[in-house]
Amino acid sequence: MRNLVTISDKAYLEKGLTLYDSLENTQKPGSFVLHYICLDDDTYEKVSSIDKNSIKAIHISELENDNFELRNIRNISPSREAISNGQAQNRDPRHIQFCWALASYSCYYFINRVGLENIYYLDADLFFYKDLQLFDDELGDRSVGIVRHRIDYLASSGEFNVGIVYFRNDEKGRRCSDWWKRQLASNPEDNPYHAWYGQCGDQKYLELFPLIFGDSVAIVDDSVGHLAPWNATFHDYSDDKVVWNGKKQELLYFHFAHFKINGDSYRTSYNNEWIWGAPEDFHGFVKNKYDNYYTSTIKSRKNYGLNDE
């Protein structure tokens, strides 16, 4: 059984439920449970109303009351990055910092507190095309799994992407998830890693996983294809597969970051921020995936009675 976790508030609910539908369509029946951490009451109510064994709503207060350390993250001094993000999004930087901590915290919660045998953290804006067995085959018996951004290295965002992060409930998996959580839960000024690795919320800390936990960490890159708007132009495409480092790979998932439905069409960026070019214009393969994601999102909206605001 694979235990998956994603997190969203009401604004991201349609993305989270589109992700869920993609999982229902691609994973073997009975092979997974999506633990859906709901950041507000509306989200909790909606997810709770889905009467299926493969999705389970968990209110954020459950995690916060389990461990007051998490709750306190809403109060610790926001980092410089959280402040600048807060200004850009007109949101409280402390809330942004809290949200950044949740990926690591949810993994820690399910592994170290609930005791599930494994956990796959998934960003809510992922969409799956294949069974996660593809990921597991490359992961092997290692305790932690991470993926690359697949772009030319940018120090500010690091080498690895937090879209999918895996932990097995064994000694190294428990230690690593606890370590990641602690980086996000501590005051920036008390954390020696923060100045360099805290530049991108929770994400850049992933660079330290292989350095600290060595061979227990799998960098899943060789056989698993995954796309995102930032890396679409770094791939080639052939026979309905992505080509990475000269090797054809099955596309496991697409990370549809910054995707927004705009009336009868959609946008793939907030404000043309993808400096590598518009991903949908690069190749018909990519455009086709975006079109399909748009259709799937509209379908999920209808299925779950979500409005388009």
Partner 1 sequence: MMNKKIAFGMIVFEGDYVLEACLSQVYPYASQILIAEGPVKFWQEKGRSTSTDRTNQIIDNFPDPENKIKIVHGQFSEKDDQCSAYMQFLNDDIDYLWNLDSDEIFKGEDIEKLIDIMEKGGYTSADVKSCSFYGGFDRYIGGFEERKGNFHRVFKVYPGSKWLTHRPPTVVHDPSADPIPSKHIDGDTLWYRHGIRMYHYSYVFPKQVANKIEYYEAKVSRDKCFKNYFETIYLTWVQADDDEQKFNVEMINDGVHEFIKGTRPHTFTKRFEGSHPSEIEKRLEEYRNRIDDEMSSYSKVGLECWKSDQVYEHMLDGANGKLWAKLENSSHWPVLKQLLDFCKSNGATSFCDVGCGAGAVGHIYKDVEYTGADLPGIVQNVSRKFSPDLNFVEFDIDEDVSFLSNYDCLVLGGFIDVMEKPIEVLEKILASSKKYVVIHRQHLGKGTKSWLTTSYNNMISYQSQIDTDEIISIPKKYGFTVLNITPVDGQYSILLEKK
Interface residue list for partner 1 (CB under 8 A): 65-69, 71-72, 75, 92, 113-114, 171, 174-175, 178, 186, 190
Cα–Cα distance between 188 and 190 in angstroms, integer? 5
Looking up tokens 């054809």, which residue turns up? 248
- With respect to partner 1, which residue has the nearer C-beta, 178 or 207? 178
Say whether 232 sits in a helix, a strand or coil. Answer: helix
For residue 189, the minimal CB distance to partner 1 (Å) is: 11
The residue to which tokens 């989200």 are assigned: 43
Q: Which is nearer to partner 1, 171 or 222 (CB)?
A: 171
Shortest Å distance, C-beta 142 to partner 1: 16
Name the amino acid, one letter, at 176. Answer: C
Query: Closest separation between CB of residue 182 and partner 1, Å?
Result: 9
Nearer to partner 1, 92 or 240 (CB): 92
Q: How far is the CB of 53 from partner 1 (least distance, A)?
A: 23
Neighbour tally for 130: CB within 10 Å: 15
State the pairing for strand pair 265-267/126-128: unpaired
Measured from the CB atom, is 3 or 186 closer to partner 1? 186
Interaxial angle between packed helices 13-26 and 41-48, expressed in degrees from 0 to 180 and rounded to the nearest 10: 30
Calculated CA dihedral for residues 233, 289, 203, 95, nearest 10 degrees:
130
Q: Whose Cβ is closer to partner 1: residue 75's or residue 288's?
A: 75
User: CA 296, CA 228: separation in Å to the nearest integer?
Assistant: 17
Q: How far is the CB of 78 from partner 1 (least distance, A)?
A: 12
